[in-house]
Structure 1
């Protein structure tokens, strides 16, 4: 598992950054695939479950949509995403302006999370997570 990730990372590092702005599926898919285990995180805070999508949102410019589902629900709830800042040097920057990086649920209610990413080329990736595997300390 480590060797393919290292090979992918080496390929990314060998590509000149000036040639890519990480705003297409071809550019962000390898990064997101390497980070699949950390696409989401759950935090218990202020009497709620906060489900963070920070890792996915940091590479949203190559995505058409993100959908999630809690517990037995399929990944059909759309996640609202901040638009890409293509007129800046950092199009994937998260400014936090009116687009939170998490969703809330009642404390202890999120046992599993399903996530579906749809890339701008129409391809999809899906993942499922158990609360205990993504719960932040």
Structure 2
């Protein structure tokens, strides 16, 4: 199964870090965003990793963002399609 981060990449100038976890686990893994580009802040760099493969048995994925000002989003959980 693939999980896409394209939308977050387009807002990378405002996001410092993307943390995630699987199946009610801690959000202790980091998805590395490409460096922000003030000249093209919403563009997706040609070599950007826009998705990652997750184990097929993954039932849900939780994500938390840390913004450049240090504030954090709520942790959001997304269920895998059935």
1:1-137 correspondence runs (5 A): 49-86=1-38, 88=39, 90-97=40-47, 99-106=48-55, 108-125=56-73, 126-132=75-81
TM-score, normalised with respect to structure 1: 0.54
Count of matched residue pairs: 81
More helix by share: 1
Listed as ranges, the gaps of 5+ residues in structure 2 are none
Q: Deviations over 1:71-128 (max 9, x none)?
A: 1321110111111112x2x22311131x31111123x222101000001111111211
Rg comparison, structure with higher value: 1
Extract unaligned runs of 5+ from structure 1.
Answer: 1-48
Q: Let me know the Cα RMSD of the aligned residues.
A: 1.5
**Superposed structure 1 runs of 4+ greater than 3 Å apart:** none
Q: Give, in angstroms, the shift of residue 52 of structure 1.
A: 0.7
Structure with the higher fraction of residues in strand conformation: 2
Q: Deviations over 1:15-62 (max 9, x none)?
A: xxxxxxxxxxxxxxxxxxxxxxxxxxxxxxxxxx11111111211110
